[in-house]
Amino acid sequence: MELNQNIFRANDIRGIAYEDLTPEVVQSLGRALGSEAIDRNIHEFIVGRDARLSSPEIYDWLSSGIISTGCNLIDIGIVTSPMFYHSTYELNSSSGVVITGSHNPGNYNGFKIVFNKNSTSSEEILNLKRRILEKDFRKGKGISKKEDIKETYIKRILGSIKLNKNLNISIDCGNGAAGVVAKDVYERLGCNVIELYGEPDGSFPNHHPDPSKLINMEDLIKSVKENNSLVGLAFDGDADRLGVISPKGEMIFPDRQMIMFSRQIIQSSPNAKIVFDVKCSKLLSDEIEKLKGRPLICKTGHAFIKQKIRETDALLGGEMSGHIFFNDRWPGFDDGIYAGARMLEIIANSEQDDPFVTVPNMLSTPEINIPASDEEKFQIVKTFIENSNFSDAKTVNIDGIRVEFEKGWGLLRPSNTSPCLVLRFEAETNDHLNKIKKIFYQGLKSIKPNINKF
C-alpha cells in the first residue's frame, strides 16, 4: 500500500481524493479508527460526510474498514462538521469521524476525528498512522445503522438563541454542506432569509466555499447591497467557519467579529478568558484587556484552540480563518452557523442600524498563502527564524514566528492544512505595513529565491 505520510496533519487527516486517499488507505484508516475505538471500550462510531463528489465512495471504503474491526457504525449522512460534533453529544456514542475537505480545493478530502467529544490531538493522529503502518487492527464484524440528527441540532440552536426582532439577512452556503440546514435554522429564528447557493454540489459550480477569501464573497456582498440585508453570512465547505459582510458590503474579518463576540461574552461574564490564534489583530487583545477580560494567544488549528479552551475554561475562542468556539451557552465546538446566529443576536439587540461601525480597524492584509510543499514549508520557517534578528521587537514563537514592532506586526507560519506558507501583516500606516512586509519578504527570498512578491 502506498501511503503519503503528509496526509497526517496537526489537527486532522487530509489529502487528494483517489491519489492520497485511495481505497486501500481509507479502508486502513477505517480499521485503525475502529480498532482504536474498541481499545478505548467504544463500540459505536459515528460517521458523517460533507457534499464533496468523492465523499460517498470514501464513506463506503472507510465504513467497511470500521465494521471489519467489530465496531458498530452510526451513519448520520450528509452533515456539516458542527452537526457531526453535535451528534457526539446527542447519540449513544461520543466518538466518530466526519469525512470533509473543509475549505480545501474540490479534489481534496479528509477526516475530522473525535474521541469522547474531543478532537484528536497531534499525538492521536500520529498513533493512527502508526496503527496503519504496523497493521495493528482488530478483527470482527460490526453492524451499521442510520440516524438523522438535523432536527435535534436545529433545536439545540433554537434553545440557545432568541432574536427580539425579525431581521432581513443574506446567506451564502457555497454549495457546501451548510445547504442542508442553514436556511432552516435562520428562518426558524424568525429571519427573512435570501439564500445563495444552498444546493449541496461538490463540483462547487459558483465559487469555492472559503469565506476567508474576498473573491468568494463577491456574490454575497452584491446580495446584501441589493436586498438591504442587515448582514451577510457565509460558510466554508463543512460550515465550521463563518464569513460576515456588513450592511455596507464590507468584509468583517474574524478577528473583528471576535471583538463583537468578546464584548457580548465579557458583559455577561466579567473577567472571561478569550482564546485567539496568532493570526489575529492586536486590536482584539487590546479590546479584551480594555473590557477587563483575559486574552490568551494560541497556535492556529481548531484542535489547539479547543484544547486551550478546555485547559483554561475560556468562554470564547476564535481563529482568523473563521472558526469561532463558544463555550458559554454552547458546548465549545466551532460552528459557523451557530456563530452566525450569535451575530444575529448582537445585531437584533443593537440600537444602531450598523453595529459593525463600532468595531475598531487597522490597516492589515488578508491571509497571504505562498505555495510550499509539505516537505519544505516547516524547514523554510525554521531557517527564517534561525536567520532573523528582531532585537527591536517582541517575538512570539508558539506557531511559526509573530514579530510585534512598535507600529505593527508580521507573521510567518506553516499551514496545518495545505502545502503553503501563511503570512499576515497589520500596521498603523501604509508605510509601516510595507516596511514590515519588506523585512519578511527579504528574509524569505534569501531562503527561497523564486518567491513571488507579496
- φ, ψ of residue 58 in degrees (nearest 5): -65, -35
Is 170 designated active site? Answer: no
Give kind and range of the element (H or E) at residue 444: helix 430-445
Give pLDDT < 50 ranges for the chain: none
Residue 417 confidence (pLDDT) = 78
CATH entry, 5-148, from 3.10.580.20, 3.40.120.10, 2.102.10.10, 3.40.220.10: 3.40.120.10
Q: For the chain, how many residues are written?
A: 454
Q: Cell for 204?
A: 462547487
What distance in Å separates the CA atoms of residue 44 and residue 173, rounded to the nearest whole number? 31
- Residue spans per domain, the chain: 5-148, 167-252, 253-359, 363-445
Domain 5-148 identical in fold to domain 363-445: no
Residue 353 confidence (pLDDT) = 85
Residue 192 confidence (pLDDT) = 98
**Residue 107 CB-density burial (10 A; 0-12 exposed, 13-18 middle, 19+ buried):** middle
Contact (Cβ atoms closer than 8 angstroms) between residue 154 and residue 84 = no
The architecture in CATH of the region 253-359 reads: 3-Layer(aba) Sandwich (3.40)
**C-alpha triplet 46, 176, 72: angle, nearest 5°:** 10
pLDDT tens per residue across span 375-424: 899 999 999 999 999 988 999 999 999 999 999 999 999 998 788 999 99
**Residue 205 CB-density burial (10 A; 0-12 exposed, 13-18 middle, 19+ buried):** exposed
Percent of the chain with pLDDT over 70: 100
Q: Which member of 68, 102, 212, 415 is catalytic?
A: 102
CATH class of 363-445: alpha beta
Give kind and range of the element (H or E) at residue 407: none
Residue 48 confidence (pLDDT) = 98
Q: How far apart are the first and last CA of the chain?
A: 40
Is the pTM higher than 0.75? yes
- Tell the CATH superfamily of the 167-252 domain: Alpha-D-Glucose-1,6-Bisphosphate, subunit A, domain 3 (3.40.120.10)
